[in-house]
Amino acid sequence: MIEKNDWRLMGQEGYLKGVTLKYDQYRQYSEDWDHDHCEFCGEKFTFDENPENLHEGYSTLDEYTWICNNCFDDFRLMFEWKVSTQ
């Protein structure tokens, strides 16, 4: 059970509550941007082969915000996320 004071919660409900997410490979957002971090726990997403990093997960439809599988499972009920099947 996730508590409201979970260390990963830092006001994300202000912009992630009820949004639609999609599951995909991590992609480069722009030329000078080579990684992202999970919006909740900070795990690193990259598109290299490094097995220590994440290479797929949930993102907002604009691929600006990324959420790892673990945090998705933990917070999906609290945040009422919808998942796009496209």
**Residue 54 binding Zn ion, by CB under 5 A:** no
Give CA–CA dist 57/9, Å, rounded: 18
Contact 73, 40 (CB under 8 A): no
**Residue 2 binding Zn ion, by CB under 5 A:** no
Rule CB under 5 A: choose which of 36, 68, 74, 79 binds Zn ion.
68
Hey, which residues between 6 and 45 contact Zn ion (CB under 5 A)? 38, 40-41, 43
Could you identify the residue written with the tokens 């992202």? 36
In DSSP terms, which residues pair with 20 in a beta bridge? 82
**Residue 66 binding Zn ion, by CB under 5 A:** no
Q: For binding to Zn ion (CB under 5 A), which residues are involved?
A: 38, 40-41, 43, 68, 71
